[in-house]
Amino acid sequence: MPSFDTVSKADLEAVKNSIIQAEKIINTRFDFKGTSARVELKERDISIYADSDFQLDQVRDVVTDTFSKRKFNLAFLDHGNIEKIGGDKLKQVIKIKNGIESDAAKKIVRLVKDSKLKVQASIQGDAVRITGAKRDDLQEAQALLLKEVKDLPLTFDNYRD
């Protein structure tokens, strides 16, 4: 039976390359000379450091611009709170989302069942597996999910025939 998995997974190589590019931009910008403005990547967390709120906004803009130029979906980024770290220095952690949470997975399963398509949806860990008798039904399910689920960056993989 044909099937595919609906997942929400960020491309970590694109994240790494974007952060490297953002670091280069920050190091060469005149308005960041002599400041503590920098960007760090640790596994799935991006840490942004700056001396003031304005400068933090500027660094965040540089990071999001580099992601946008690489066609990275910004919905994967979850901006955390701004923290004070000694003196006037500020830090913000941006987490990279991975996987579909259980509430969202239940919503996707309910959406597929309510659509009356000839497919079945089941939750498989942090993914939702869609199975059907025909490829056309699976393609209709993909189109439905892309149209209806706007709050999650969905991708489809693990096609089986």
Reported as a single tens digit per residue, the pLDDT across 142-155 is: 899 988 888 888 88
Full strand arrangement of the beta sheet holding 119-124: 119-124, 127-132, 3-7, 155-160
- Give the domain extent around 16: 12-96
Query: What is the separation of C-alpha 50 from the centre of its chain, rounded to a whole number of angstroms?
Result: 23
| The model's pTM | 0.79
**Phi/psi of residue 119, each to 5°?**
-135, 160
Could you tell me the pLDDT band of residue 64, with boundaries at 50, 70 and 90?
Answer: very high
Task: Judge if 113 and 92 occupy the same domain.
Answer: no
Token pair recorded at residue 57? 């906004």
pLDDT given at position 41 = 93
Identify the sign of the CA torsion 66, 69, 73, 74.
Answer: positive
Q: How confident is the model at residue 59 (pLDDT cuts 50, 70, 90)?
A: very high
Question: What is the count of structural domains for the chain?
Answer: 2
Predicted pLDDT of residue 86: 82
Q: How confident is the model at residue 23 (pLDDT cuts 50, 70, 90)?
A: very high
Partnered with residue 83 across adjacent β-strands are 91
**CATH number of the domain enclosing 37:** 3.30.70.990
What average pLDDT score do residues 23-41 get?
92
pLDDT, tens digit, 9 for 90 and up, residues 97-138: 888 888 888 999 999 899 888 899 899 888 899 998 888 888
Q: For residue 137, what pLDDT is reported?
A: 87
Based on the fold, state whether residues 85 and 127 are members of the same structural domain: no
Distance CA 21, CA 49 (A): 16
The token duo for 87 is: 């003196």
46, 58: one domain: yes
91 and 25 assigned to the same domain = yes
Taking residues 41-46, report their average pLDDT. 91
Question: Residue 21 pLDDT > 90, yes or no?
Answer: yes
Same-domain status, 40 and 92:
yes
